[in-house]
Structure 1
C-alpha cells in the first residue's frame, strides 16, 4: 500500500535508531499509515468478542477494554469494548443495564505493575542528575536496606529483578502501618545470592520508590508528576486519582479480605493501598492515550512535544538486555524485553514492555516504531476469572500482521498466520523425474515461537512424509543443517537449500504447526524452485497456483 514514508507500514525493513524527537502523535486511518486494515479490524473484533457473557468458561475474558495502536508516530486504531463497571459483587452478578458504565476512549485504568516503568524512569532521571549511580549499592542511599546481608545489592539489580529478593510480602496484612511496612521491606532477607537468579519482585520496586523519595526529597507521586507526566502532558496519569474523575475510572475487584467491597478509584494492589496508594511497584492510574504518549516519548529517544524526560543514551541503556545470564528473562532497566507471551508478533530482542496484574500492558517495538497499549479491567469482578494474555498477544499481533512484508521475489508470497494449536500446509503437485537428487531452493520469512516449527517434507505416495534437511543463509539463520525453522526478531528473509534423494514422483510440502500458546506473526514461503538434472520441475514464480495451500494463502503486497 502507498505511504508518504517508504518505510512506513513495513515489517521487514526495520528502523534503526530513534524516531525524530519532533514526532507527535496524530490520528490517521490504517491506509494512510501504509497498513492493511483487515488484521486491525480482526483484532478489534476479537477484543469485543472477549467481553461477551459466554466468552470463556461461562464469563467474559474481561469486562471491558480500551486499546490504542501507534505506528510510526500515527495512532492507527483505538478500540473500546465492554464495560468499565459491570458487576455488583465478586460472584459476577451483573448490575442493571442503566447502572453499568461503558468503556470510553478516555477511561482511566489502574495500571498495577506498569507503575514500575514510571518508578524506573524516575530513578534514571536521578542517575542523569548525578545523584544516583546504577552500579552503587542501594544501601549507599538507603543505609537501612543493608540489613540481613543486602549491603551489596545494586540499583541495577533492583531494576532488573536480579537482587535475590522474594516476590512479595503481605505488608497490608502483617504490619500495622506504613512505617512498619516500609521497614519490613528494608529488613527482608534475600532468598538468593544477589546476581545469581532472576526473580520478579515487587519488593525491588517498592525499595526504588523509597530511594526516589529519599534522594529527591519529594514524594514519589510528586517526582513522577513534576518530571514525567507533567512535561509529557499526561493529564490523566498519576497516583490517587481525584474524586472528580471517578465516573471515568474502571472498576477492578470486589475484595472481601481486606473488606473493601468493589474497588473503584483506589489502587487494587493491597500493598500499594496499605502504603497510601503511592508505591514504586503499583498505584499509577492512566488512560490508553496517555500511555501511548509515554511510549512515543521513549521511541523518540526520551522527548515529546518539545519536552525531554530522558537523554537518548539513557533510553538506549534502559532498553538494553542486562539479563543475558538468564535466557527467557530478558530485562532492561525497568522494562521487560522480548516476551512473546504478551508482545505477540512484535516480539524481538529489542521489543520492550510491561504488564499489570489488573489487565494492563504496553509494548514498544523500536524496529517498527510501534506502540501497543491494551488496558482491561480483567479483575472486575474477580481475579480468579483467568489470564488475558491471549488478548495481549492478539492485539499486538494484529498490528504486526497489518505491516507489509515485501515478497522475496516477484509480486506475491505464500503466508500462514495461523493461531494456536493449528497446522498449515503448502503442497506441490507430484514432481516426476527419472532419477538423481531433487534440488530445492526457496526463501522464507520466519516469525514463530521456537516450539512452532516450519518444516519441509517429502513423500513418494502423498501419505507418508519424511523431513528434509535444510541449509539456511541469512541474518539470524540457524547454522549447519537443520530440519525445522523457527524464531522471532531477525525480520529478514532466509535463503534455503535442500537436496532430496528420490526417483519417480515426489511431492513436497511445507508444514507449519503451532502449539497451544504464544503465536507470533507467522511465516512466508516464496521463490520456490525445484530442479533435477538441470531441468526445472517447478518454478513457484511462474506457477504460483500449482501449489495447494491449506492455511497458507497467496498474498501480494
Structure 2
C-alpha cells in the first residue's frame, strides 16, 4: 500500500479499482493522437491516485468531438481516509457515469443560463442588477451590473456575516436578503475578487425573477435536457442521491495562510466542506455557484457543445455569437483579491494562458472552470478538446498541486495543437 497523511488505502494493483469504457473510447489515431499519448495522460491520473489524496476520480476527454478517454479510478464510497470514519459504506467503485458534485465548476454552466437570457432579449449584461432585483440597489451597489457579477468584479465577494453556519447555504431567501442589504465600496467594477458563493445566488435570483420559474427549471430546459443529461442538476433528485460519489477531506490539515484564504473564499472552514456536501440538505438544495452534479461525460458534453458553436446532435442550445461573448476576456490577467493568485476571467469562465494555467501549457484560447481545488473542466479550441476531470478528494496537501499540474501538462502536451486553429 502507498501511504500519505490522512490518505486512502491504495491497492498495489490499480486494475482492481480502474474502470475503462472501451466501447466509448475510439482509436486515438482517428483524431491525430497515438496510444502512447492516451496512456501518458492516464499515467498522470494514476500518479495522482497513488498519492492517496483522491478516493475517486473520473476523466472524459473528447478530441474533435470523439471520446478518447472515458475512465475512472478508485471508489465512489467506502474507502475513506481516517478523517471520515462516518463513511461505513462497503467499497463502491467509481465509474465514469458516477454523478459527482462540480462545486465551483458549476459557475460556468450557471453563467450560460444568463447568456441564454441575453440571447433571448430578456436582459443585457450591462444592465444594473437592481433593474431585476430592486432591493439589491443600495449601499454602494446601485450601479453594479450583471456583467460585473459574472466576471467577479461586483464588489460583494462574500456573504456579509461573520462565521455563518453552513446551513445558511440551504436557505435561499435568507442569503438573498443578506446580499441585498450588504454594503460595498468596490461596486464600480475596478477590483477583481472571486465571488465563490454570492455571485451564483445573484445570478440565480435574476433568472428566477425574469423567467418566473426556478433556476433548476432553467438549467433543465436550456442545457440538461437538450444535452440528454441524466444529471446536470442543482443538487440531486432523491432517487439519485445514493448514486453520488462522496467527497472527502484528505491529506495534511491546511495551515496559515492557506486555511485563512480558503475560509475567506468559501465563508466556512475548508475541512468542513466535504462532510457538508455529503448530506441530504446539500443535495436537496440549490446553490447556483456550487452544487451542480453531473458525470464526467455530461460535463465534457457541455463543453463540446460550446466548441461546436452551441449545437449538440442537431439541436441548437446557443447561438455562436453568444458563446463568443461568454468566453471573451473581460480584462488582463490580474491578482485576484480573494484567491491571491493571477487569474483572467471572461463573463462566466476562467481563461487559460500561454505559459502554465489551469488548462495546461500553451492554452491561451482555453476556457473553463475550477471546482474546489482539484476538479477542472474546460474546452480548448486550439486543441479541439473538451475535458472533464472530476474527483472527490478535497485537499490542500502540498502534494496536491504538483500532482494536478502534472495532469494538466500531460493533457495539453499529448493533445497537440491543431494547425490553423
What is the TM-score with the length of structure 2 in the denominator?
Answer: 0.78
Report if aligned partners of 2:200, 2:289 keep a CA contact under 8 Å in 1: yes
Matched, 1:401 2:401: no
State the Cα distance separating 1:27 from its structure 2 match: 3.7
User: Pick from 295, 310, 313: which aligns with 2:303?
Assistant: 295
State the SS of the aligned residue for 1:375: strand
User: Structure 2 vs 1, CA of residues 335 and 295 (structure 1 numbering), >3 Å: closer, same or farther?
Assistant: same
Which structure has the greater CA radius of gyration? 1
User: Pick from 127, 131, 153: which aligns with 2:122?
Assistant: 131
Corresponding residue number in structure 1 for 2:45 = 47
Matched, 1:231 2:226: yes
State the SS of the aligned residue for 1:149: coil
Corresponding residue number in structure 2 for 1:210 = 205
Matched, 1:331 2:345: yes
Q: Which 5+ residue runs of structure 1 have no aligned equivalent?
A: 1-24, 407-489, 493-557
User: Pick from 174, 178, 185: which aligns with 1:180?
Assistant: 174
CA RMSD of aligned residues (A): 3.2
Report if aligned partners of 2:153, 2:193 keep a CA contact under 8 Å in 1: yes
Corresponding residue number in structure 2 for 1:342 = 358
> Which portions of structure 1, spanning 4 or more consecutive aligned residues, are displaced by more than 6 angstroms?
254-260
Report if aligned partners of 2:102, 2:294 keep a CA contact under 8 Å in 1: yes
- Counterpart CA distance in 2 for 1:101 and 1:140 is 49
Which range is displaced more, 250-259 or 116-125?
A: 250-259
- Counterpart CA distance in 2 for 1:131 and 1:330 is 27
User: Structure 2 vs 1, CA of residues 263 and 194 (structure 1 numbering), >3 Å: closer, same or farther?
Assistant: same
- Counterpart CA distance in 1 for 2:374 and 2:333 is 29
State the Cα distance separating 1:323 from its structure 2 match: 1.6
State the Cα distance separating 1:392 from its structure 2 match: 4.1
Report if aligned partners of 1:62, 1:388 keep a CA contact under 8 Å in 2: no
User: Structure 2 vs 1, CA of residues 94 and 43 (structure 1 numbering), >3 Å: closer, same or farther?
Assistant: farther
User: Structure 2 vs 1, CA of residues 346 and 130 (structure 1 numbering), >3 Å: closer, same or farther?
Assistant: same
Q: Deviations over 1:232-290 (max 9, x none)?
A: 1111221231333234311014799989957536576xxxx7xx521221111000010
Q: Which 5+ residue runs of structure 2 have no aligned equivalent?
A: 1-22, 250-268, 336-341
Question: 1:43-442 to 2 correspondence within 5 Å?
Answer: 43-52=41-50, 55=51, 60-87=52-79, 91=83, 99-169=90-160, 171-173=164-166, 177-201=171-195, 202-253=197-248, 263-264=277-278, 266=280, 277-324=285-332, 326=334, 328-338=342-352, 340-345=356-361, 347-348=363-364, 350-357=365-372, 359-379=374-394, 383=395, 385=397, 388-404=400-416
State the Cα distance separating 1:405 from its structure 2 match: 7.2
Aligned residues: 368
State the Cα distance separating 1:390 from its structure 2 match: 3.7
- Counterpart CA distance in 1 for 2:399 and 2:187 is 31
State the Cα distance separating 1:397 from its structure 2 match: 2.7
- Counterpart CA distance in 1 for 2:239 and 2:276 is 18
State the Cα distance separating 1:79 from its structure 2 match: 2.4
State the Cα distance separating 1:396 from its structure 2 match: 3.5
Report if aligned partners of 2:74, 2:93 keep a CA contact under 8 Å in 1: yes
- Counterpart CA distance in 1 for 2:420 and 2:344 is 19
Report if aligned partners of 1:137, 1:154 keep a CA contact under 8 Å in 2: yes
User: Pick from 30, 33, 47: which aligns with 1:32?
Assistant: 30
State the SS of the aligned residue for 2:59: strand
Report if aligned partners of 2:102, 2:293 keep a CA contact under 8 Å in 1: yes
- Counterpart CA distance in 2 for 1:89 and 1:392 is 19
- Counterpart CA distance in 2 for 1:346 and 1:394 is 14
Report if aligned partners of 1:43, 1:394 keep a CA contact under 8 Å in 2: no
Q: Deviations over 1:383-412 (max 9, x none)?
A: 554674444433333233224579xxxxxx
Q: Deviations over 1:125-148 (max 9, x none)?
A: 111111111111110010011121
- Counterpart CA distance in 2 for 1:347 and 1:168 is 33
Corresponding residue number in structure 2 for 1:538 = none
User: Structure 2 vs 1, CA of residues 261 and 378 (structure 1 numbering), >3 Å: closer, same or farther?
Assistant: closer
Q: Which has the higher strand share?
A: 1
State the SS of the aligned residue for 1:317: helix
- Counterpart CA distance in 1 for 2:90 and 2:193 is 42
- Counterpart CA distance in 2 for 1:149 and 1:79 is 49
Q: Deviations over 1:513-556 (max 9, x none)?
A: xxxxxxxxxxxxxxxxxxxxxxxxxxxxxxxxxxxxxxxxxxxx
Report if aligned partners of 1:346, 1:365 keep a CA contact under 8 Å in 2: no
Question: 1:507-518 to 2 correspondence within 5 Å?
Answer: none
- Counterpart CA distance in 1 for 2:27 and 2:45 is 19
- Counterpart CA distance in 1 for 2:360 and 2:149 is 27
- Counterpart CA distance in 2 for 1:405 and 1:262 is 41
Q: Which has the higher contact order (CA 8 A, sep 6+)?
A: 2
